[in-house]
Amino acid sequence: MANRQSHGHQLRLCDTGGGERRSDGRARRDGGNGRDVQVGVPRVAARSEGRADAVLRPAHRFRRQHPRGRPHRPGRIGVPTRIVAHERCRDQPVRAMKRSALVMLGALGFVVAGCGSSHAVSLGEPTRQPTTTAQTTTPAAAKPAPTISFEVWFARGDHLVSEPRSHAATRRVATAALAALLAGPTAPERTNGDTTAIPSGTRLLGVSVKDGVANVDLTSEYQSGGGSLSMQMRLGQVVYTLTQFPTVGRVRFALDGAPVNVFSSEGIVLDHPVGRADYQNLAAAPAPLAGSWQSLPPAPVRLQTNLASVWTGTEMLIYGVKGVAADGNFLHASNALVAYNPTSRTWRRLPAPTGQAEYLGRHPAAWSGKEMLVWPDRAFDPSTNRWRQLPKSPASGTGLVAWTGHELIGWGGGCCGDAFSDGAAYNPVTNTWRKLAASPLAPSAAPTGAWDGREVIVLVGDFDPDGHRWPAHFARAAAYNPVTDTWRRIAPLPESRGGATATWDGHELLVVGGAGAPRGGQPAPLSRTGFAYNPAADRWRQLPPMESGRTASAVLWTGKTLLLWGGSESGNGTTVVPPHGLAYDPERNRWSPLPQAPLLGRTDPTAAWTGTQLIVWGGEKPGQNVASAFYDGAAFTPAR
């Protein structure tokens, strides 16, 4: 290779997309754009014997590019540059070559095989085919036809796997790869567990490549049948198969000639090109997030339910209810507060709040920088160990609560068949409340959302407490600006999601867990897929699927990763408690399991992020009343 480069020449196989033929018999030129588009060779072997679709190009005909892929996100790890052919390298006949060039091509055909590129996401190096054939005494005219090698991706369980394929040398290499993909796994591959999520009868209508984006036109059978995982898997199969070629970084889908913006009834948003990073979670079973757990010492108070916690900078304050009778009776229950210091690994019992006990519902809390504000009427100062009563809130319920840095804002809520659509804001400096402007949102007993640094993003469901769909004029998503006291409608979730949890990661609102809309009067199963909302673009994207759906989990943001621990994998029927938590990295668009905690699984634990540790504590035993709650906890320290 070094000798060849010293002569100032490199080899490049210039494969181009040829004409396609539509199902109606009319000729088609690569998606109907009237021209052939270079696809490029795959990273695997592309060899030639005798006359081949290969031409020598001087080194100056090449240019160095960075791989095309998803839009850059701050902090994304860079990927190696790659060499790609000049865009003027089109469908050209095999030209006469100098004798020395022919010698180089025959003797060093492996250079052609190695002119692919590295991708940010890989399922392993493609299977390499032999680059030469055995020497025989057959006349030159009988030499084997040149072939190319590439890979196709199939499903095996919840992940994608690659299988090698070879094909007669062709300029339409992308078409050949997709044809092999649509043909499905071979019998031996099926025996090994390979399947395909692409429905039978799906046909390729056209494929073209421009500016690193492959435009693929398939028949409408492609989006038929299957659930969310099946839809993700079939999209991933096409994306991985096409992005093995160095001139393809992303894929744009069309069905029966029409661009796809929302794919199937699962509501998968495809209004932009997608790449391997969008389906990275399907690539291989991820390794657990590196880090270690440590059990906490026993707490001085047995808080049983309605837990809320904040991190003060030095301690985790946990507020909740104690004294629930064994039969679940709250008659003698009361509120209590404790503090845990992770540096000294010690607890301290704090004074109980004054006033009437509040234990019939959830009471969210936020840290103001000085006090723990417990919605809607209490505040605790850990420096003085004193509670104070807040003025009466003008809001009707307890729903979504967010701290803006100046005010504690709450919206929605409800109990026992009620759903509210009003909100209020509390200013601890002036010790006053103000009522929020009327929102365009449908009432909601359990809204979700978060503060994004400028607005409170609020998401609500499609159905009222009686199971009837809210009228269409109600918004399902809106953002509130506390400076102007105004609301604006925003793009709704691509699909209904009850019981989900949302957190802000500094760029997007991440929504995970929960279940879709009820079907046929029955609760929907928990969804493995979540969504991310970009306020600047007013657009949602779908997250890769988790290993299982979750609800009643503790979810928080560390500054780099979303951590989820606890909760249930079952939204209806038998409750299944997962054995470990999960971590989502937005930069890599990938879920990973957390190491096994020294705790039993549970629902509704409380959690805090200290800056270096995830602390989880308490929670309830599935299927039992709150009197049999958990009173232990542990701290997880991610590896640096």
Please give the pLDDT value at position 54. 32
E strand or H helix at 105: helix 99-107
**Reduced 3-state DSSP string for 261-307:** CEECCCCEECCCCECHHHHHHHCCCCCCCCEEEEECCCCCCCCCEEE
- Rounded to 5 degrees, φ, ψ at 149 are -125, 145
Please give the pLDDT value at position 126. 36
Q: Which residue has the higher pLDDT, 9 or 455?
A: 455
Copy the structure tokens of residue 129.
């085919």
**Residues 297-313, mean pLDDT to the nearest whole number:** 97
DSSP states of 406-431: S-EEEE----TT--B--EEEEETTTT
Please name the residues in contact with 627: beta carbons below 8 A apart, sequence gap of 6 or more: 304, 324, 325, 326, 327, 328
**Residues 215-234, mean pLDDT to the nearest whole number:** 93
Please give the pLDDT value at position 553. 96
Cα–Cα nearest to 338, from 324, 320, 325: 320
Query: What's the rounded Cα separation, in Å, for the pair 469 and 485?
Result: 28
Range with the lowest mean pLDDT among 253-257, 331-335, 377-381, 609-613?
Answer: 331-335
Domain ranges of the chain: 2-282, 291-638
If you average pLDDT over every residue of the chain, what do you get? 80
Degrees to nearest 5, angle at CA 314 with 310 and 316: 30
Query: What's the rounded Cα separation, in Å, for the pair 460 and 499?
Result: 10
Q: Which residue has the higher pLDDT, 103 or 475?
A: 475
3-state secondary structure of 107: helix
508-548 pLDDT per residue, tens: 999 999 998 777 777 788 888 899 999 999 999 988 888 88
Does the domain at residues 291-638 carry the CATH identifier 2.60.40.420?
no
What is the total residue count of the chain? 640
Q: Which residue has the higher pLDDT, 1 or 208?
A: 208
Query: What's the rounded Cα separation, in Å, for the pair 91 and 53?
Result: 9
Percentage of residues in the chain having pLDDT higher than 90? 57
Q: Which residue has the higher pLDDT, 503 or 147?
A: 503
3-state secondary structure of 145: coil
Cα–Cα nearest to 578, from 587, 569, 570, 588: 569
Query: What's the rounded Cα separation, in Å, for the pair 605 and 550?
Result: 13
CA 403 to chain centre: 26
**Which residues pair with residue 295 across a beta bridge?**
634
Query: What's the rounded Cα separation, in Å, for the pair 165 and 459?
Result: 47
pLDDT of residue 91 exceeding 60: no
Please give the pLDDT value at position 135. 40
Please give the pLDDT value at position 88. 35
Query: What's the rounded Cα separation, in Å, for the pair 275 and 179?
Result: 20
Query: What's the rounded Cα separation, in Å, for the pair 496 and 218?
Result: 28
Please give the pLDDT value at position 143. 62
**Which residues pair with residue 148 across a beta bridge?**
46, 167
E strand or H helix at 103: helix 99-107
Which pLDDT band holds residue 251 (cuts at 50, 70, 90)?
A: very high
Please name the residues in contact with 146: beta carbons below 8 A apart, sequence gap of 6 or more: 47, 48, 49, 50, 51, 52, 53, 168, 169
Please name the residues in contact with 181: beta carbons below 8 A apart, sequence gap of 6 or more: 152, 153, 196, 198, 237, 238, 241
- Radius of gyration of the chain measured on its C-alpha atoms: 30
CB atoms within 10 A of CB 382: 20
Which pLDDT band holds residue 110 (cuts at 50, 70, 90)?
A: very low
**Residues 35-45, mean pLDDT to the nearest whole number:** 39
Query: What's the rounded Cα separation, in Å, for the pair 472 and 395?
Result: 25
E strand or H helix at 12: strand 9-12
**Reduced 3-state DSSP string for 173-238:** HHHHHHHHHHHCCCHHHHHCCCECCCCCCCCEEEEEEECCEEEEEECHHHHCCCCHHHHHHHHHHH
| Contact by Cβ (8 Å): 566, 601 | yes
Please give the pLDDT value at position 572. 56
Query: What's the rounded Cα separation, in Å, for the pair 192 and 157?
Result: 11
Cα–Cα nearest to 631, from 174, 322, 190: 322
pLDDT of residue 113 exceeding 80: no
**Which residue type sits at 333?**
A
Identify the burial level of 335 via C-beta atoms within 10 angstroms of its C-beta, where 0-12 means exposed, 13-18 middle and 19 or more buried: buried
Q: Which residue has the higher pLDDT, 593 or 57?
A: 593
Cis omega (within 30 of 0) on the bond before 376?
yes
Q: What is the pTM of this model?
A: 0.62
Query: What's the rounded Cα separation, in Å, for the pair 347 and 353?
Result: 18
Q: Which residue, chain included where needed, has tokens 């928080």? A: 556
Range with the lowest mean pLDDT among 106-110, 431-435, 614-618?
Answer: 106-110
